[in-house]
């Protein structure tokens, strides 16, 4: 009896809270305009166009804790898990490379994501036929030795402006954005770049309370035992500002504070799991 009496107010609260939130915060949604359902894509790059409602698509705040109604787009080919995510997108039009994609039927799924990479809408999905003039197969394994990653600039403790180039040196590792979300190929992958800053990345993140498919479902493998792999599965990627594939990475911290910021770069496989055996590189900079 006492248990029931204690439990009741909690139940009532959650019933009261949901409609109130819905009234002040219109639910964001995303739909796919291109490729049209059932259409054929004849180009090697797949042009994607989406429409959104109640959501501002931008990346100025990417990596920061999520707030309602703002963020970016996650796209996935042939699934909805992190492993098949092609990248994060900051505009409603973008292209997905067909490299490593077999000609034939495929599904494209898109979902709105908060700045912290949490799902912010229901996913949208279309099936299309990929029929390029000439298909680009997955590259052969490029393992040449132990991969290594270092940050060339800025130096640790350096004073930087709000926008600067992050330069890295990469050896025995081929960076490819085209292969993001494709099956892993040894020796290939991309970079994950994180920024952490007191007063920003330690703030609690908003995440929508709506029923939706979890992104890091059972298909995501358990092989990555690092703490980062665990974080990715829960879609808690606060601090991640991008998944680039170049050794010179423009960083824009215009929406971040002045003062110390820690920049962490790590190798990721095509499925976004951390590349085993390669230490992350980090510098702390002083943002002016």
Least Å distance, CB 229 to Cu ion, is 12
Q: Which is nearer to Cu ion, 7 or 230 (CB)?
A: 230
Q: Which of residues 228-247 bind Cu ion (CB under 5 A)?
A: 243
| Torsion of the alpha carbons at 86, 88, 93 and 95, rounded to the nearest 10 | -30
Using CB under 5 A, which of 268, 278, 283, 287 touches Cu ion? 268
Part of the chain binding Cu ion (CB under 5 A), chosen from 14-22, 98-106, 216-224, 266-274: 266-274
Tell me whether residue 68 or residue 178 sits nearer to Cu ion (CB atom).
Answer: 178
- Cβ-based neighbour number of residue 14 at 10 Å: 10
Backbone angles phi, psi at 229, to 5 degrees: -60, -40
Least CB distance from residue 184 to Cu ion, whole Å?
A: 12
Work out the number of other CB atoms within 10 angstroms of the CB of residue 225. 10
249 lines the binding site for Cu ion (CB under 5 A): no
Nearer Cβ to Cu ion (34/280): 280
Cα separation of 193 and 241, whole Å? 6
Q: Is 42 exposed, middle or buried (0-12, 13-18, 19+ CB in 10 A)?
A: exposed
Least CB distance to Cu ion at residue 122 (A): 23
Nearest CB to Cu ion, comparing residues 68 and 244? 244
Task: Give the number of residues in contact with Cu ion, rule: CB under 5 A.
Answer: 3
Task: Say how far apart CA 86 and CA 101 lie, in whole Å.
Answer: 12
CB of 154 to Cu ion, least distance (A): 23
Q: Which is nearer to Cu ion, 74 or 272 (CB)?
A: 272
52 or 176: whose CB is closer to Cu ion? 176
Q: How far is the CB of 31 from Cu ion (least distance, A)?
A: 25
Decide if residue 83 touches Cu ion (CB under 5 A).
no
Give just the sign of the alpha carbon dihedral 91, 286, 207, 272. Answer: positive
Closest to Cu ion by CB, 35 or 181: 181
Q: What angle do CA 42, 184, 179 make, to 5 degrees?
A: 35
Q: Is 182 in the site for Cu ion (CB under 5 A)?
A: no
Whether 214 contacts 169, CB under 8 Å? no
Residues 44-63 that bind Cu ion (CB under 5 A): none
CB of 275 to Cu ion, least distance (A): 10
Dist CA 29 CA 90 (whole Å): 16
Reduced to 3 states (helix: H, G, I; strand: E, B; else coil), residue 90 is coil
Of the candidate residues 272, 275, 283, 285, the single one contacting Cu ion (CB under 5 A): 272
Q: Write the CA distances from 3 to 7, 10, 13, 16, 173, integer angstroms.
A: 6, 12, 16, 21, 58
Residues found near Cu ion in the complex (CB under 5 A): 243, 268, 272
């Amino acid at each position: 009896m006492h248990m029931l009496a204690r439990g009741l107010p909690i139940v009532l609260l959650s019933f009261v809270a949901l409609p109130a939130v819905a009234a002040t915060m219109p639910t964001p949604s995303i739909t796919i305009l291109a490729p049209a359902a059932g259409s054929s894509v004849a180009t090697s790059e797949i042009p994607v166009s989406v429409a959104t409602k109640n959501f501002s698509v931008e990346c100025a705040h990417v990596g920061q804790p999520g707030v309602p109604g703002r963020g970016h787009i996650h796209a996935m080919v042939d699934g909805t898990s992190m492993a098949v995510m092609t990248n994060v997108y900051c505009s409603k039009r973008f292209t997905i490379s067909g490299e490593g994609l077999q000609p034939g039927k495929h599904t494209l799924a898109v979902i709105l994501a908060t700045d912290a990479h949490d799902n912010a809408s229901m996913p949208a999905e279309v099936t299309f036929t990929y029929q390029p003039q000439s298909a680009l197969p997955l590259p052969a394994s490029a393992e040449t030795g132990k991969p290594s990653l270092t940050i060339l600039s800025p130096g640790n403790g350096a004073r930087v402006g709000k926008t600067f180039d992050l330069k890295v040196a990469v050896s025995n590792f081929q960076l490819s954005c085209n292969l993001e979300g494709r099956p892993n190929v040894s020796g290939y992958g991309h970079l994950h770049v994180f920024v952490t800053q007191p007063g920003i990345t330690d703030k609690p993140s908003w995440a929508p309370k709506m029923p939706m498919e979890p992104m890091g479902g059972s298909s995501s493998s358990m092989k990555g035992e690092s703490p980062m792999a665990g974080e990715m599965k829960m879609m808690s990627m606060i601090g991640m500002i991008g998944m680039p594939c170049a050794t010179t990475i423009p960083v824009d911290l215009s929406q971040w504070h002045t003062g110390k910021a820690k920049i962490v770069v790590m190798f990721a496989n095509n499925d976004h799991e951390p590349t085993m055996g390669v230490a992350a590189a980090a510098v702390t900079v002083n943002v002016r």
